[in-house]
Amino acid sequence: MDSHSTITEKLWRLCTFASFIVILIIFLSQNHDGTDIVVLQSLLSMANEQFPEPKNVSQILQSPPSLSPPQFPMANEQFSEPKNLSEIVPPPNCSPHQFSMSDWQSSKAKTVLYNEMEKEGCNIFEGKWVYDPKASPLYDAARCPFLSDQVSCQRNGRPDSEHEKWRWEPKGCQITRFNIGKKMLKRLRGKRVIIVGDSINRNQWESLACLLYSSTSPRKAHVQVERSDYKVFKSKAHNCLVEFYWSPFLVQLETNQANTGKRILRLNQISSFAQNWLGADVMVFNSGHWWEHGKDIRAWDLLEYEGKLFEDMEITSAVEAALKTWASWIDENVDKSKTRVFFRSISPEHKDAFSCINQTEPSKDNDATPFPKPIREAVERTIEGMSTPVKYLNISELSQYRRDGHPSFYARKQSSRPDCSHWCLPGVPDTWNRLLYASIILGSTRNVSSPSDASSPS
């Protein structure tokens, strides 16, 4: 009787252990993050107390590094609102000096998909648009009540939504497609992102803010959008900030000159907002469209360069002077080992004869309104000459095919003029943020080479 009981017990133990092996194999065949692996390890550990594993099985899983549980604030914890821009500081535990580049590139960061991106010849900014309603859009705009009218095309009555269902597919490599908001929140835990520039960069900020906001509980996030020159998304659960600063020239524009009554663009003086850029972990800049405004609508009356005032100046020279001021500020104030710096290329407009009116799908041709090549080249020369590594987010060509993505007459509920400059959300800027996330994972590079079509605006 005892012998029979012993045999039965051994068979039962053997079957149970075999079941755990099957579960393990199935689990490892799926795509799970580090938290799931820790949970599975705990289960296996409990099992091993009764069913010791063979040595070759115990080597299947290794503990991922630094997987301490996140510390969530209390539900009633609030972020204090800055009374003015000089009071804006990173939240507690959000100083960039607490991080190193290794924090950005943990062993979990470079998954199989991102390893593909490191293949020689893989350029995530070259590829094609693929209709993929399963993967796009990345979020529901209705979950983001803070989105401005300018980007809320569906809310303003746009009758079609097919423009939301196209996904960018890089040539020769893949980038993550699903749960991008949650993945970004994990990556940005304890960090601060600033997006600086014109209304197109504000468009990108709204995209990123909605992507993150819709990926967490509204009780654990706060969005401040009342001001036109400063906006912020705050995640309480992840202790991070994503801010937007209005600065279309990146240098100082004085609009209330008591002595002259003139608006002066000071080419040798960085924007007054710059004191608030300090300490960010990720910086995304742009400048371009405002330099090309005609004399009737341009933002300045006088240009100041090296202490002298000019009523007129060759635009490319003015752009180069302003960018040199910006580059010097970056090189002098940014810690290369702590902060990632990005510069987004020119977002294309579609203001030609075909315009963006009644467009419902991507163009087959690269047909955007050309942007002056000298300004694009001035940006590229500036980046090349900097001591701080700056990643050039070259979104120009991939966006040129998307004349269907503009608000057109739906930038507000009743509009008589089409907007073929900004972008509907969800939409094209979501792809810019996917590529920004991919670039953060992969690390900085000084590659500012343009697509093969040198005549394309960048």
* Residue 128, SS3 per DSSP: strand
Phi and psi of 189, rounded to 5°? -55, 125
Helix (H) or strand (E) holding 207: helix 199-213
Could you give the CA distance from residue 234 to residue 225 in angstroms, rounded to a whole number?
Answer: 12
CA 308, 309, 313 angle in degrees (round to 5)?
Answer: 110
Strand-strand pairing, 230-235 and 308-310: unpaired
Q: What one-character DSSP code corresponds to residue 1?
A: -
**How far apart, in Å, are the Cα atoms of 291 and each of 187, 285, 323?**
35, 15, 12
CB 178 within 8 A of CB 198: no
Helix, strand, coil shares of the chain, percent, nearest 5, are 35, 15, 50
Could you give the CA distance from residue 218 to residue 199 in angstroms, rounded to a whole number?
Answer: 25
Q: Which two tokens stand for residue 434?
A: 């996917």
> Which residues participate in catalysis according to the annotation?
199, 419, 422
**Residue 270: strand pairing partners:** 251
Terminal C-alpha separation, the chain: 84
Q: Can you spell out the DSSP letters for 263-301?
A: -EEEEEEE-TTHHHHTT-SEEEE---GGGG--TTT-S-S
C-alpha dihedral sign at 397, 398, 402, 407: negative
**Residue 265: strand pairing partners:** 253, 303
